Amino acid sequence: MAKINELEKEAVTTIGVVSGPFQPEYLVCQQMHHMINSRGYWYSDPFDFSLPNLAFQIILIFFTTRLLLFFLKPLRMNLLMGHILTGIIIGPAVLGRNTTYFQKVFPPGSIVVLMTLAYVGFMIHLFTLGIQVDPRVIIKTGKSAAFIGSSCFLLPYALGLLTFYVVNSFGNFDAHLRESMSMIIVINSVSSFPVITSLLADLQILNSEVGRMATHVSLVCDMWSWSAMLVINAVHLAIRNSKMDSIWSVVFTIALVAVIAFVIRPILRWSNERAKEGDEEEAQFCWLMAILLCCGLLSEILGQHSGFGAFMMGFVLPNGPPLGTTLVPKLEAISSVLLVPAFMATSGFRVHLASMNGTSSVFIELIIMMGYVGKFCGTLLSAICCGMPFWDAIPLGLIMCCKGIIEIAILVVLYDRKVINGQVYSHLLLTMLVVTALARPIIAYLYDPSRRYMVEGRKTLQEWKEGVKMQFLVCLHNEDHVPTIMNLLEASHPTPHSPLAVFVLHLRELKGHSTSVLIPHHQFHKASSKATSYNHAINVFQYYEEHNSGSVVVQHFTAISPYASIHNDICTLASEKWTNLVIVPFHKTWTIDGSMESTEHSIRNVNKNVMNKAPCSVGILIDRGPLTSNQHVLMSESEPYRIAMLFLGGADDREALAYCMRMVEHPKVDLTIARVKNDDYLSGEESDLDQELIDYFRASLGKRKVKYIEETAMDGVGTTRVICSFEDAVDLLIVGKHHDPLSPLISGLTEWNEYPELGVIGDMLATSDFQFSVLIVQQAPVALNLSLEMSGPESHDRPMH
């Protein structure tokens, strides 16, 4: 026992130099302590243990990154770049110069453990990236994207190579640097597809015009990059070792791809089918993780990085449910939060600031910067040649200059294999960090997808004139809101003289993919079997169109995008179709017993973005259809559909009243217009416009069966009393969103505004105190001062104010 205690007190780490495959390597021999000694006491120094040391390192990386992101928030720096900067700061380049700190926090043995964990995380992350790549994107790449993507790679490569030949004439490059320069120039020309799509999703422009073009361009550039690196690597092996080594490298790479495609892929398909049949999800998850580790091991055996096999496995994994859509959130929770930060931070450990000096550093940086200049100019000029507007081509060029985890991983592999030295690695990584950090805020400033539809003279309901087709855009997240929406559309009273065009947009959150979609629904149905979940809704709308033949035209579209930016798809379609009204469902739903069924906060953010940026009027539908027993308006035996409109005054209430003008002649709609006013309060011009529209409405009624009532209220309590009088008397209440905050009609109601996007009255109606459905109408948002030119069939019409 005494001998054991003596050994525990001795140094347990030995560092030596051994011969490696490329050059001498450090070998760390470390005897691991037990957590408790033979007497049952904890060791006094917690950094003597691998697990506490690893935990402290990860905690240090996490908090340092968050602190950096807080101070660098104006630069819109993302987490990955923050982790790299963290690694540089806490690593040997900055704080690590203090040997006491670095030996305590990052002893040699612990760095081995941390890097091993980091590589596992990187392999899992590459697997998730491979899952999100849709192979069909390659087929859909057009000629413009192919031309821009080729220019995006070839021009920076040519310019970097030309710069190298010029500066090499000065004779300041050593033999090893000259040998590796072709690989360096290729790396500098890379624009990785997973990195670009992640950047677009982070900037919330993945489903914009520039975002979709950048997706296809990066895919073409990526294909050029991998092909060039494969060829250059084979040439280097032939020069350094032998031609047979070069041939075997290509053969092994092809063999690896073949094994994954023809052996692993059938196993994954079988596993996916078993999951669909109801096998336990945990068992399927364990099987896939085992196969993933096998692919990484096979990749290493055949001479490739383990991440290559992991990425290829994710690429061939069936991207549909359940595996393709359930695996990504689980694995991302493990890799992105815990393991990838360790990988990115350790990449920062390799930066050697002291090596970045001398004439050679100037020349290296010049070659790297010329590569970025060539990439930006190549993308910009080719995009302009393909007809892209100049102010869209600039953000596209900046997007293609951004780099991320794929490029960093390539640098780490080349550095560890001694293809590039510490000086080149430091220049490449730091330049990548600076360019990407500066490009992100510039892209966000220059490109806003909403500018193309946030223009003067946008469509409103008050523009509609009798005999002119009114156009609606209906957004569906699921089938639950279809009955109430159908009642609302039928109540709009489509006729051959005054037809109705309905564009139904099926919204789906982007999961398991990295490419957004906005296409006609029939095209999506042909490309994927996942469209069956909306077949019932499609049948209902088709029946509605057939029932109103000559009066109603229905078109279906599908949008698959991140919920953070899916409003761009809604607003783009509304702008292209010149719709008068966009209808979006409220984010809360109710069950038949009146209790709340679910609350989707992501849908709430979608609604808020649509209301802020829509090119036309917007209606948020609070659907309480399950609480009522009324049948569909289309059914002849159904009871009349009871609709009431609350008019307090203002532009939004006038917009709602303009919509109600379509309903007055429907034989199965009982319409009530309730005007609430206060004779002591007049809002000047607004009151005159309100009265003018009310007078026009009442004059046009004639003998139609529409009930018009006027109520006087002194404050918000009186307004609430009028609303409560509709309880059990209406199926749908229509109200405008915004009201004058100085109006006594809403005094006392503004203190409890939980959902500002609904307005004061709408927020009150969203509570569980009411049983009827509600439509909150907002007139087209105030246009920005933009000089965009409008074109369309009715662009000369001006809205009635």
pLDDT tens figures, 543-561: 888 888 888 999 999 888 8
Which residues, other chains included, contact 350 with Cβ-Cβ below 8 Å and sequence gap of 6+? 412, 415, 422, 425, 426, 429
Measure the N-to-C terminal CA separation of the chain; round to a whole number of Å: 93
Predicted local confidence at residue 217, as pLDDT: 92
Strand spans (E) along 550-659: 552-561, 581-585, 588-590, 596-599, 617-622, 641-647
Residue 583 pairs in a beta bridge with: 474, 619
Q: Distances in Å between the alpha carbon of 295 and those of 255, 423, 504, 531?
A: 12, 33, 43, 32
Q: Which two three-digit tokens encode residue 51?
A: 């697990």
277 pLDDT more than 60:
no
Average pLDDT over residues 321-347: 75
Task: Give the model's confidence band at 232: pLDDT under 50 very low, under 70 low, under 90 confident, else very high.
Answer: confident
Whether cis (ω within 30° of 0) applies to the bond prior to 322 is yes
Annotate 161-183 with DSSP letters as a single string.
HHHHHHHHTT----HHHHHHHHH
Quote the percentage of the chain above a pLDDT of 70. 79
Annotate 86-138 with DSSP letters as a single string.
HHHHHSTTTGGGSHHHHHHHS-HHHHHHHHHHHHHHHHHHHHHHHHH--THHH
Q: Identify the sign of the CA torsion 3, 6, 11, 13.
A: positive
CB 271 within 8 A of CB 316: no
| pTM: predicted TM-score of the whole model, two decimal places | 0.79
Which residues, other chains included, contact 139 with Cβ-Cβ below 8 Å and sequence gap of 6+? none
Residue-averaged pLDDT of the chain:
79
pLDDT tens figures, 412-427: 888 887 888 888 899 9
CA 153 to centroid of chain Cα atoms: 25
b/e sequence 600-627, b meaning 16+ C-beta within 10 Å: beebbbbbbbbbebbbbbbbbbbbbbbb
Distance separating alpha carbons of residues 384 and 666, to the nearest angstrom:
52
Residue 476 pairs in a beta bridge with: 506
Task: Give the model's confidence band at 297: pLDDT under 50 very low, under 70 low, under 90 confident, else very high.
Answer: confident
Distance separating alpha carbons of residues 55 and 114, to the nearest angstrom:
10
